[in-house]
Structure 1
Amino acid sequence: MKRAVPRDVTPHGVAHARRGFSARFASLRATGASALAAFLVVLGPGLLAGLSDDDPAGITTYSVLGTDHGYRLLWIIPVSTVLLVQFHLVAVRIGAATGKGFVGIIRERWGTSWGYLTVVLLLFANFGTICAEYAGIAAAGSLIGVPAWISAPVAGVLITLVVLLGSFHRVEHVLLLISSTLALYIVDGVLARPVWSEVVSGALIPRMPVNDAGWVALTASLGTTLAPWGLAFIQSYAVDKRITTTSLRLARWDVIIGSVLTGVIGLAIAVACAATLHQAGVRIETAADAAAALRPLAGSFATLFFGAGLLGASLLAAAIVPIATAYSIAEGAGEPASLDLDARHFQWFYAAFVGLTVTAVSIVSLPGLPLIPLIYSSQVLNAVVLPLHLIALLRLGADETIMGAARATPWATRLGWVSVALVVTCIAALAWSWV
């Protein structure tokens, strides 16, 4: 049974809605419960937001990185992981301190017009990504002969039923279970039998690209790891989970673990392709191409694990990206945004989720429809939105009027601006390579 979420979005209403989590967390601390038990209470936002970045677009990006450039550019994945930890921590801190998601706090701090603009940008940027997730499901199904017009709708119905009928914690448990399938990519990385000394060298020693394609690969790897929808999701999800400033220390470990696992899985995908497809001179365009090409090079198990991981990643992201977008739409409209809302009555949050899912499934199921232009344009828009999102997070995190004692330190803010400069530089280099 879903619990009702108060419609009061004032600070008093937020405090009331979060009282259950705070009491539960405090009781664990007061009764001397183990640190593990307290950690399990806050586990979720960082893990899901991080692992969902390893979606079909991310898997394809890492596959191309390893296939086309071998071990040379692996270092961008650890760098992206550090940035992921940094900005996910900022987003969680803002959510914990304010009790509002990204669009909600934009709306409060800078007005409804900026809130609406943020929703529009995220909606356009996210929709192509949602289509990409269902395209990933279709691609995984095609590996065993299941057509897209069957696999995509079936997945859409199952995901929608889980979100509409499940409580917050049940939805979270299902998503965490699905995310565990991504561990198969680590097995794939080992099965590929890479040259480990070259893996370590490529991952730790930065070497610049030798051509425009290398710059594209670097920027794409950075952008697929640090996605605007992931940043919006982790903040809104942390609010939905009732994370507060008292639990931030443990929530920080959730973010770090989720981000590191994301980087390890991305590295395993790139290594598997570098050790096999790159050595054989194979060229690929999608993650499904990589899975099929691995069969003669690394065996049937490698193909099976790669395909199963692609399906799990697609299902996870096909749930999370629409949830992230639905959070933003509801917050922009000033309506409640929670997985615990009563689905038997109209809710902006659920209406947005269902609308996005049905539209994306319909598009992916159409035979012969070219998805690449839609997905490509959404990724370009993501590249434009990302620096704006990061700048907004840094400004909000350093704003004492909304953060109070939880505001970022000057040192952390300066480090954040250095990271933004790095992101902008990569995007500028990519744009220059296209001119």
Structure 2
Amino acid sequence: MAEQPTVAPAQPSPSADPEVGAVLDEAHVGDIVGALGTIRHHELPPSRSWAKRLLALLAIMGPGLIVMVGDNDAGGVATYAQAGQNYGTSLLWTLPVLVVVLMVAQEMVVRLGAVTGVGHGRLIKERFGSLWAWFSVVDLLILNFATLVTEFIGVDLSLSYFGVRPVVSVPIAALGLVAVTVTGSFRRWERFMYLLIVTSLVEFPLAFLAHPHWGAVARGLVVPGVAGGLTSTSVLFVIAIVGTTVAPWQLFFQQSNVVDKRITPRWLNYERADTFVGAVLTNVAAAAIVVAAAFAFAHTPEAGHFTSALGVARGLSHQLGQAAGALFAILLLDASILGAAAVTLSISYAVGDVMGLKHSLHRSWRDAKGFYSAFAAAVIVAAGVVLVPHAPLGLITEGVQALAGVLLPSAIVFLLLLCNDRAVLGPWVNPPWLNALATLIVGLLVVLSLLLMVTTAFPSIDVRITSAVLGGALLVGLGAGGLVSLRRRGQRPSIDRRDRARWRMPALALLDPPLASRGRRIGLVVLRAYILLAVALLAAKTVLVGIGH
């Protein structure tokens, strides 16, 4: 039995085996079996040999790389291509900013997964109650299902470029996705994901085929702006870029996938590295798509007239040659399948968390029928929606990305509260600087969605003045919050951060009850009301854009 770690007296004692802690499914304990290697359950991280460290990293890598590259899905490819075709390189500056947002959000879920051994949905249920857990999971299910529909739209459009009809392409893709996932082998599933990740690299030769002007690319990356000025439509599009780059499903997926891969605190720095590599790769790839569309359509009649991802493929073929059109269609197909696999699995993980079902890719279909049935049902129903005649597929695709951006602040608020819960994370709670950065990110996301709400309700309002007012209000709010935080900091018990590598959250039944202050309850209710209003106005704005207003 492992030696008991030493923690601060204010913290609950770890369970008898700190490697197990609160883990709810025995399939989540054991060797780390990755696509590129295996790490034994009680193996320690190498301390000297760089070769051994690299081998360990290759075995650990997966959850971060998959969640990041998977977020460049069908909707992402279409959104980035639209950014390039309609706005040139003027929106490239959003991507470096979003690398920071990705790392802040995903590092917190990595830490939660490794330290607690419990999925995101289950933690929300245990610490906030079933009502808030179902609110969060229902939000996730609605958004994820709509996102999954966009993945099959991507399958339809990409293979239509090669002359394959959707009644053939969509069912085959759906059945193949289910077949690969229900094999009962985590390693086999992860290797399939790696194959898709390698295929996605076709975006880089595609960008070079467009013969970009690198000076313009550099300016787009460092100089904020929007071609054509800041309008309600461009605000909607910026939110769509945020939503397609940082989506709520990523929080649920990566935390559960870290747990499913059996990553413990001793390997946390390796998983952080995995996440960082994925964050950089996915945003460089997004920039490549923007660059390809920006320079391929510049000074042509198609500039500023995005229609669909299929229209982009055909336009690239016309402007750059058949190879470019084919590469974009392959990229769209690959992104659709990779995104569908990750998004649907986050649904299955969340359902398993909240309903207490066995939920692990290490389990066979017979051993986890509910987990795999949820996956198969979501895939089949979403594929069926795409086959409905005259469905507004283009409108769905743009609306889903913006919806993800609107729902993101709510998801990050719950994440922040969990990462400051000492009973859950003990010595692993957020440091003050991370809380400050995450609060700033939430504030900026709320300002964006408020801007969308105001410009939708009052279309003639001056967007620049409104942005300045909301930005000023954000600064005042952050300043006041910072002063309150400094005053309370001295009242909090100190945290002993020694020997953190072996500390894991105790069994959920042993945790101290969470602090349920009146201010926290009111804040959560206000947040929920705000999100509902924002979603309603987003739906109205999306429909108006869809009918040409």
**TM-score when scaled to structure 2?**
0.74
Equivalent position of 1:18 in the other structure: 29
List per-residue Cα deviations over 1:318-373 (Å, max 9, x = no partner).
11111111111111102222111220245221111011011011111233333345
- Structure 1 residues without counterparts, runs of 5 or longer: 1-8
Q: How does 1:56-67 map to 2 (within 5 A)?
A: 56-67=74-85
SS at match of 2:299: helix
Equivalent position of 2:230 in the other structure: 211
Match of 1:264 among 284, 288, 307: 284
CA distance in 1, matches of 2:218, 2:388: 44
CA distance in 2, matches of 1:30, 1:77: 35
Equivalent position of 2:108 in the other structure: 90
SS at match of 1:47: helix
RMSD: 2.0
List per-residue Cα deviations over 1:25-68 (Å, max 9, x = no partner).
72563895611111012100110000011111111111111111
Q: Is the 8 A contact 2:158 2:332 kept in 1?
A: yes
Equivalent position of 1:323 in the other structure: 345
List per-residue Cα deviations over 1:212-258 (Å, max 9, x = no partner).
23222221111110011122111111111111111111111100110
C-alpha deviation, 1:375, in angstroms? 4.6
Q: How does 1:13-92 map to 2 (within 5 A)?
A: 17-21=28-32, 23-24=40-41, 26=43, 29=46, 34-92=52-110
Whether 2:421 is the aligned partner of 1:402: answer no
Match of 1:249 among 265, 269, 276: 269
CA distance in 2, matches of 1:13, 1:55: 31
Q: Is the 8 A contact 1:55 1:313 kept in 2?
A: yes
CA distance in 2, matches of 1:115, 1:106: 5
Larger RCO (CA within 8 A; separation ≥ 6):
1
Distance 1:163 1:418, change over 3 A: same
Distance 1:374 1:309, change over 3 A: closer
Equivalent position of 1:338 in the other structure: 360
Q: Is the 8 A contact 2:240 2:402 kept in 1?
A: no
Equivalent position of 2:327 in the other structure: 305
Deviates more, 1:223-232 or 1:129-138: 223-232
Identity of aligned residues (%): 33
Q: Which has the higher helix share?
A: 1
- Structure 2 residues without counterparts, runs of 5 or longer: 1-19, 33-38, 458-549
CA distance in 2, matches of 1:329, 1:356: 12
SS at match of 1:11: coil
Whether 2:241 is the aligned partner of 1:224: answer no
CA distance in 2, matches of 1:344, 1:117: 30
Q: Could you tell me which amino acid in structure 1 is paired with residue 116 of structure 2? A: T
C-alpha deviation, 1:14, in angstroms? 6.0
Equivalent position of 2:254 in the other structure: 234
Q: Is the 8 A contact 2:45 2:267 kept in 1?
A: no
Match of 1:133 among 130, 133, 151: 151
Q: How does 1:265-414 map to 2 (within 5 A)?
A: 265-282=285-302, 283-345=305-367, 347-372=369-394, 374-375=396-397, 378-379=400-401, 381-414=403-436
List per-residue Cα deviations over 1:111-159 (Å, max 9, x = no partner).
2222222221111111110010011001001001101111010011111
CA distance in 2, matches of 1:139, 1:111: 42
Q: Is the 8 A contact 1:387 1:423 kept in 2?
A: yes
Distance 1:432 1:343, change over 3 A: same
Deviates more, 1:60-69 or 1:204-213: 204-213
CA distance in 2, matches of 1:279, 1:101: 49
Q: How does 1:147-162 map to 2 (within 5 A)?
A: 147-162=165-180
Q: Could you tell me which amino acid in structure 2 is paired with residue 255 of structure 1? A: T
Equivalent position of 2:198 in the other structure: 180
CA distance in 2, matches of 1:62, 1:369: 23
Deviates more, 1:194-203 or 1:368-377: 368-377
CA distance in 1, matches of 2:295, 2:74: 20
SS at match of 2:91: coil
**Number of equivalences:** 427
Q: Is the 8 A contact 1:56 1:314 kept in 2?
A: yes
Max Rg structure? 2
Q: Is the 8 A contact 1:14 1:99 kept in 2?
A: no
SS at match of 2:313: helix
Match of 1:195 among 209, 213, 225: 213
